[in-house]
Structure formats: structure tokens, C-alpha cells
Amino acid sequence: MTKQERINQSETRIFKAVFPNTTNHYDTLFGGTAMQLMDEVAFIAATRFSRQRMVTVSSDRIDFKKPIPAGTIAEFIGRVTYTGNTSLKVRVDIVIEQMYSDHREKAITGEFTFVAIDENKKPISIFNG
């Protein structure tokens, strides 16, 4: 498989209904919950790309552009945007989708860096899998 094919096939999407157990007192998705789910979808995309043990080494800037209201659907999309030697970057976008219309808009964007590690927790090539 080419690198581009691996990037395409490892794109990962998680949908969540924004129910009250994930919201704050403004009735919007709590930022910490959003970041946890972003790290999770990024981790899955990184793992599906490399098929190695991956650990988060860094999270880059996360932009919260729009609040995500309770009663909407949030889609988390993780896609590999950069590949190094032992590390890669995954961009995560969160898209708000209305339940009762087809309207969608981007709400949050962030980037996470992962490193592939061996049994001794030392960095190894992301392309060995």
C-alpha cells in the first residue's frame, strides 16, 4: 500500500450524540471531554496508519471556533497529515451536525503528534508495521 493509500484508509470517524452527561453549565460540550475524544480518534487513526504501538508525545494548538450545543451530533474526524521517521501528526476536526436537518459546520480543530515505540518503549519507524 502506498503512503497516500495508508493515509486514506486510516482516516477515522467517531460520532457522538451530545447528551447532558458530556456538557458544561453553558449546555455545550465540555472542552475537556472534546479533547479526550480528539486524542482518542487521533490515536486510533495513528494506530490504523502504522499498526505499531503509538503514544501521544505532543498536542499542538487546538482552536475552539464554535460551541457544540447539547442535542446535536458531533463528528470527530482524524487524518494523518504528516509522517516523519518515528513520529506522525494527526489533525482532528470536530464537525457539528444538526439532528433534524442536514446542516453541518466545523467547530474545533487540533493536531496531535504520536511516536511509534517498541517493547522497550524506544522509538521505532512508523513504517515497520
Ligand X SMILES: CC(C)(COP(=O)(O)OP(=O)(O)OC[C@H]1O[C@@H](n2cnc3c(N)ncnc32)[C@H](O)[C@@H]1OP(=O)(O)O)[C@@H](O)C(=O)NCCC(=O)NCCS
Residue nearer to ligand X on the CB measure, 32 or 84: 84
Three-class secondary structure of residue 84 per DSSP:
coil
What sign results for the dihedral spanned by CA atoms 77, 124, 85, 49? negative
Beta partners for residue 58, in sequence order: 113
In 2-103, which ranges are E strands? 12-17, 53-64, 73-83, 87-97
Cβ(74)–Cβ(96) below 8 Å: yes
Binding-site size for ligand X (CB under 6 A) equals: 13
Residue nearer to ligand X on the CB measure, 72 or 113: 113
Q: Does 55 bind ligand X (CB under 6 A)?
A: yes
Scanning residues 21 to 50, which ones bind ligand X (CB under 6 A)? none
Scanning residues 67 to 86, which ones bind ligand X (CB under 6 A)? 84-86
Q: Does 117 bind ligand X (CB under 6 A)?
A: yes
Residue nearer to ligand X on the CB measure, 33 or 47: 47
Three-class secondary structure of residue 101 per DSSP:
coil
Cβ(47)–Cβ(77) below 8 Å: no
Q: Does 3 bind ligand X (CB under 6 A)?
A: no
Residue nearer to ligand X on the CB measure, 70 or 117: 117
**Residues contributing to the site for ligand X (CB under 6 A):** 55-58, 84-87, 113, 115, 117, 121, 123
